[in-house]
Structure formats: C-alpha cells, structure tokens
Amino acid sequence: MSLRVSNIRLSLDQPEAILPEKLAAILRVPGDILGPWRILRKSLDARDKDRIGFVYSIEVSLADEEGKLAQWARDRAMPEARVELYLEPPFVMPQPGSRPLSQRPIVVGSGPAGLVAAYFLAERGYRPLLLERGRPVRDRIHDVRAFDAGGPLNPESNYLFGEGGAGTFSDGKLTCRSSGPDVRRVLELFADCKGKPSILYEYRPHLGSNRLPAVVKAIRRKIEALGGEIRFSCRVEDFDLGEPGCVSARRLRGVGTSAGYIPANVVVLAIGHSARDTYEMLRRRGVPMTPKPFQMGIRIEQPQETVNRVQYGAERLETRLGAADYSLISRSASKGASRHDLFTFCMCAGGHVIPSVAGPGFFCTNGMSLSDRDTQFANSGLMITVHPQDFGDADLFAGIRLQEVYERKAFEVGRGDYRCPIQLTADFLSRRASKGQPPPSSYSRRQVVTADISELIPPVILEALHHGLPILNHRWQGRFLRDATLVGPEARGSSPVRIVRDDATRASPEIEGLYPVGEGAGYAGGIVSAAVDGLRTAKAIVAHYAAPGT
Ligand SMILES: Cc1cc2nc3c(=O)[nH]c(=O)nc-3n(C[C@H](O)[C@H](O)[C@H](O)COP(=O)(O)OP(=O)(O)OC[C@H]3O[C@@H](n4cnc5c(N)ncnc54)[C@H](O)[C@@H]3O)c2cc1C
C-alpha cells in the first residue's frame, strides 16, 4: 500500500524536481523520509489564463502510510491537495486453458488491435501467425510519401493498410476513455517499444506520426523474438468453415489468402474499418454482423496561432507548452433544431490534413501531426454520429454505401487525382461555392481544389454543421471560424458495421474459433482502445486454449 497525493499544482516556472518538497509539505513530513515516488497523472490546467500550470497526481511510499493519512486529514496543510491510500490493481494474464489447439492462432491485421493481440499471445507461448495485407512499415512509408507527392495509390499500402494499420500514420494521440491495469499494460508496451515514458502519465499523451513506425517495428520484433511470425502482402480472402451449408460444421478450419491456404482453428480478426472487400467476404460466409452508428463529417483547418491565442491567452506559451489543442461539442440533439450533436474529433495541433484513402476512386480526409506539432495549421474533424436510421436503407452495408457515395463525389470533385476539396467557412455558411485561388492549407503536394463542401456530405451532416458551427464560433468569440477552411468529407470516423461477438467469450456466437476485435469489428475506436481490445481477446484465447504443441 502507498499514498496517492492528488491536485498538486506547479506553476509553469516551477521544475518537477521540487515535487518531493511539495509532497513533504503536504504530508508534513521531513523530505528525507519519503520513499520512492512516481507521477501517476500530469495535466495542464489552462482554464484561468492568468494561472496556467500543471496539476499532478503522485504515488509515494513511506513508513506508516495510514498514520500519515490520518495526520494529513487532521492538519490539512495544503487544503487543495487530496491524500488517500493507494493500491494499484495488478495486471493479470490468465493461466492457459486446457482445450488443445492443433494449429497456431492466426491474427488478421497488424493495426493496434492485431499487433497487441499477437504480442500477448506470443508472450504466453502461442506462437501466433500475423497476416497483414499491406507492406512492412519501412516500405509503407515509401508508398505513402510517393502518393503524397502525386504518385499512384497503392491499394494495399497506404495511410490505412500496411504494418501498424491506421495507427501508423495516425496522429499518435494515446488518450483512452477507460483506465485500469489493461490500459496501463498496453501503454507500458508502447513505452518499452520506443514510445516515451511520459505516455504513462500524461493526460493527453501524444507520439506523432514520425515516432509511430519505430514503435510498430519494435513490437513486431518482440513478437518474432517470442516465436511469432508475421507475413506481409498476405490478404485474407476467405474462411474455410467446413462443408458448405452444413450449420453444425461452422467451425473455422483455415483461411484462404492471397498467398495460399493456411489451416487455423483460431482466428483473431483485426481488419480495421476500411477493409470493405473483407466485410463482403464475411457476409458471403454468413458471419453475423449488424449495422451500427458511426462518425462522419468534415475537417476544419485553422491557423494554429488562433488556437494558441484562444487557449493560452496573450502570452506566447506555445514555445514552452507546444501547440495548443481543443475539444469542443455543440449539443443540439435535445433542442430540436438539429437531431445531432456536432463535435470535434481527432484534433491535430500543428498538423497536416491528409488523404486517408485506401480504395481507388474514393476520397476521404483525416489529420495527423509530427511529434513537434510545428506546422502553422491546426485541424480537427467536425463530426456527428450517423445512425442506421440516417443511412437511407436497411441493408447491412447501407452505412458503407453512404460513405462510398460521398467519397466518390469527392474523388470526382478532386479531378480524379485525390486533390482535396476545400471551402472557405464564410462561403460554406452562406451556401455558396468558394471560387478562385484556394486558400493556404497543410494538405499534401497533391494539392487542394475549391469546392462546395455541402455537396460532399449527407443532408443530416449539413444541417448539423449549419446549426453547430455558429455556436462553436460564438463560444470562441468569433475566432473558431476566423481564417478557417473546411475540407472533406471525413467519412470514416469509425466502422458502420459490427461483427457480432459474445460478451463473455469474445468469440463469434456462430463461427467457432473466430474472434472479431478492434475498430473494424465495431468494439473499439482509437489506438489504445483498439489495442486494449486486442489484449483482452488474447487473454480470452489463452484462458480457453492450451498453447499449440503443449
Ligand atoms: C489519419 C488518422 C489519424 C488518427 N489519429 C488517431 C489518434 O491520434 N489517436 C487515436 O487514438 N486514434 C487515431 N486514429 C484512429 C486509429 O488509428 C484507429 O482507431 C486504430 O488504428 C484502429 O486499430 P485496429 O487495429 O482496429 O485497425 P487498423 O489500425 O485499421 O488496422 C487494420 C489492419 O488490418 C489490415 N487488414 C485489413 N483487411 C485485411 C485482410 N483481409 N487481410 C490481412 N490484413 C488486413 C490492414 O491493412 C490494417 O493494417 C487515427 C486514424 C487515422 C486514419
């Protein structure tokens, strides 16, 4: 047992080296009796622009913790601080189960969900085989750079497909709504694999797209060192479920891939939300799936300087704190004017707008930033949650079709060359197309093209934007939309489909041995949440099956 001391404030001029002194003052003990301490949480408090500072939560060990807690409660030396007994719940991996596995487990997709599932299976001696349709990260970087510079789209190696999945060229924000031992264990893995130690305690940890490839490669090397294997350019194209039409035989026996047949009894399906061909295959094979709500919208790009001034006030704190970010919501679902809340999504401070494209003939935006967050632009998704009743029909893939309609229009508007449609916000709100010379943008060398963004989004999103944008702008005293441009569409905020799984076993209820995970399965969104989903499924497999060959 140790103590957790929370709400310790340091001004921007105070170094972290004085934290032990602060702890000693709060606990009213001499500094030299403090045992080991570590930061559990560090967040920036910028609510009061005259008192911007960091707030810490710290774990500290010392003799007689309960006595010191009672003394603190009596004295309240620094009343704003809070002290409590602290015992961090341990991370536990289950003991291997008894059901024999004749083949090693296959993991399909090397995004955060698949990579982390494979790592924890490898760590327990299950020697997983990881199949990835795209190329290794080093080649993938080359393919993405060539595309950005105006080259052709490689449908198997791009911003979404290839080693590390969508996570590799993501912004690398490692925030997660949940917490606990599994989240901590995933962050520890990332930190060990060329991440940075501060991701374990920062409130909004960020790595940046330039650091993620090294993290992904380091995890792959660990998997290989533990007896796992990864095969690139290997796309799963079919499932072998036994005799066709024989319901009792719906047990996985293997997968058909672009590189041949591989026998398998256990398959972790971690395909992300953009493998539309694989979803089609799953439907053909009768894998249970349902439509689900997903996020769709556009992206706004603003001068980073504007965001810095709004968040930090007049002082030029960005040189010390880095580019400022934001997270905003305009609630209107209950007010009737629009049925949908408009919210910012995946905000990238000092970042780039990118062509987040995996399929030829479709255009979709997203955003990312490098670890320094040092461009002059801020960008953020402006999204709503689209529900199946908004899809226009009841088909399982109606959400995907909705994405495709607008992504195809955007591709055509972008002259069939993945130019990014862009519009001045004033023109968008006045419902007139922007004309003339396009405004500056961080978009890649593929260039931008002026357009009428309202034609590139469904009416339900248009309505939410017209209602919500003036509200967000008012909240920022007219600065949210100042010199801002809109780009889009951003159609793939999450998956429009869920691959059904059983809550307890985490396996498909109808296909024995199939374990859908991550964003593409509809159970997670974001790097850490997808990775934790992968970890939990690895635990479920370990608990059920014995490692192959044991
Ligand atoms: C530009 C961008 C920025 C983002 N920024 C952030 C951020 O800052 N923070 C955050 O938390 N989240 C961010 N996200 C979201 C995050 O990247 C995803 O939520 C996460 O990567 C989902 O992980 P996943 O493993 O489920 O799927 P994915 O990462 O999509 O991985 C799926 C993998 O499966 C492979 N695959 C698909 N089909 C097959 C097949 N048939 N056979 C073999 N392999 C296949 C794909 O090639 C891919 O590598 C961002 C996403 C994008 C696109």
Shortest-distance Cα residue to atom 22 of ligand 1: 519
DSSP result, 308-374? HHHHH-SS-THHHH-S-----EE--TTTSS-SS-EEEEEEETT-EEEE---STT---EEEE--TT--
- pLDDT higher for 435 or 320? 320
What is the distance in A from the centroid of ligand 1 to the CA of 152?
Answer: 21
What is the distance in A from the centroid of ligand 1 to the CA of 209?
Answer: 13
Instruction: Tell me the C-alpha to C-alpha distance, in Å, between residue 81 and each of 35, 201, 253, 264, 331.
Output: 19, 18, 58, 55, 33
Confidence (pLDDT) at 64: 83
> pLDDT band for position 31 (50/70/90)?
confident
What is the distance in A from the centroid of ligand 1 to the CA of 78?
Answer: 45
Q: Which atom of ligand 1 is nearest to the CA of 176?
A: 11
- How far the first Cα of the chain sits from its last, in Å, is 38
**Does residue 368 have its Cβ closer than 6 Å to ligand 1?**
yes
**Does residue 347 have its Cβ closer than 6 Å to ligand 1?**
no
**Does residue 278 have its Cβ closer than 6 Å to ligand 1?**
yes
Q: What is the pTM of this model?
A: 0.96
- Other beta carbons less than 10 A from residue 268's beta carbon: 30
Position 487 pLDDT exceeds 80: yes
Shortest-distance Cα residue to atom 49 of ligand 1: 165
**Does residue 527 have its Cβ closer than 6 Å to ligand 1?**
yes
Mean pLDDT of 101-111: 97
Instruction: Say which amino acid occupies 386.
Output: V
What is the distance in A from the centroid of ligand 1 to the CA of 441?
Answer: 25
DSSP result, 184-231? HHHHHHHHHTTS-GGGGTBSS-B--TTTHHHHHHHHHHHHHHTT-EEE
Mean pLDDT of 106-113: 98
pLDDT digits (tens, 9 = 90+) for 292-303: 999 999 999 999
What is the distance in A from the centroid of ligand 1 to the CA of 520?
Answer: 8
Mean pLDDT of 130-137: 98
pLDDT digits (tens, 9 = 90+) for 469-483: 999 999 999 999 999
Q: Which two tokens stand for residue 366?
A: 């997203």
Position 533 pLDDT exceeds 80: yes
Helix (H), strand (E) at residue 104: none
Shortest-distance Cα residue to atom 1 of ligand 1: 170
Is there a contact between 515 and 268 (Cβ–Cβ < 8 Å)?
yes
Position 140 pLDDT exceeds 70: yes
Phi, psi of 302 (to 5 degrees): -130, 160
Answer CATH for 101-162+209-290+497-546 from 3.50.50.60, 3.30.565.10, 3.40.630.30, 3.30.390.10: 3.50.50.60
**Does residue 297 have its Cβ closer than 6 Å to ligand 1?**
no
- Nearest CA to 118 out of 255, 231, 241, 240 is that of 231
Domain with CATH 3.50.50.60 in the chain: 101-162+209-290+497-546
Confidence (pLDDT) at 205: 95
Mean pLDDT of 18-25: 94
SS3 content of the chain, % helix, strand, coil (to 5): 30, 25, 45
Position 222 pLDDT exceeds 90: yes
Q: Does the CA dihedral 509-250-388-497 come out positive or negative? A: positive
Confidence (pLDDT) at 514: 97
Q: Which residue has the tokens 């894998």?
A: 287
- CATH class of the structural domain 2-86: alpha beta
**Ligand 1 pocket test: which of 271, 295, 296, 494 has the largest number of ligand atoms within 8 Å of its C-beta?**
271
pLDDT digits (tens, 9 = 90+) for 331-358: 976 665 557 999 999 999 999 999 999 9
**Does residue 112 have its Cβ closer than 6 Å to ligand 1?**
yes
Q: Give the CB-side neighbour count of residue 225, counting CA atoms within 13 A.
A: 6
- Give the burial class of 349: count Cβ atoms within 10 A of its Cβ; 0-12 exposed, 13-18 middle, 19 or more buried: buried
Shortest-distance Cα residue to atom 41 of ligand 1: 236
Cβ-proximal residues to 346 (8 Å cutoff; 6+ apart), any chain: 171, 173, 366, 367, 380, 381, 493
pLDDT exceeding 90 applies to what percent of the chain?
A: 85
**Does residue 205 have its Cβ closer than 6 Å to ligand 1?**
no
> pLDDT band for position 545 (50/70/90)?
very high
Mean pLDDT of 484-489: 96
Q: Does the CA dihedral 206-166-523-104 come out positive or negative? A: negative
**Does residue 108 have its Cβ closer than 6 Å to ligand 1?**
yes
Cβ-proximal residues to 463 (8 Å cutoff; 6+ apart), any chain: 338, 340
pLDDT digits (tens, 9 = 90+) for 37-92: 999 999 999 888 888 999 999 999 988 878 878 787 777 767 789 999 999 999 99
Q: Which atom of ligand 1 is nearest to the CA of 161?
A: 47
Average pLDDT, the chain: 94
Confidence (pLDDT) at 287: 96
pLDDT digits (tens, 9 = 90+) for 159-204: 999 999 998 998 999 999 889 999 999 999 999 999 999 999 999 9
pLDDT digits (tens, 9 = 90+) for 438-472: 888 999 889 999 999 999 999 999 999 999 999 99
Domain with CATH 3.30.70.2700 in the chain: 2-86
Confidence (pLDDT) at 68: 77
Which contacts of 447-452 are long-range, i.e. CB under 8 A and separated by 24 or more positions? Answer: 447/419, 447/420, 448/419, 448/420, 448/421, 448/422, 448/487, 449/413, 449/414, 449/415, 449/419, 449/420, 449/421, 449/422, 450/421, 450/422, 450/423, 451/413, 451/421, 451/422, 451/423, 452/423
CA–CA gap between residue 380 and residue 326 (Å, rounded) = 9
Confidence (pLDDT) at 249: 54
What is the distance in A from the centroid of ligand 1 to the CA of 52?
Answer: 35
What is the distance in A from the centroid of ligand 1 to the CA of 369?
Answer: 16
CA–CA gap between residue 302 and residue 377 (Å, rounded) = 6
What is the distance in A from the centroid of ligand 1 to the CA of 407?
Answer: 18
Q: Which two tokens stand for residue 139?
A: 């080649």
Q: Which two tokens stand for residue 252?
A: 């996985």
CA–CA gap between residue 327 and residue 345 (Å, rounded) = 7
- Give the burial class of 452: count Cβ atoms within 10 A of its Cβ; 0-12 exposed, 13-18 middle, 19 or more buried: middle
**Does residue 359 have its Cβ closer than 6 Å to ligand 1?**
no
Q: Residue 167 carries which DSSP code?
A: G
Q: Which two tokens stand for residue 289?
A: 């799936």
pLDDT exceeding 70 applies to what percent of the chain?
A: 97
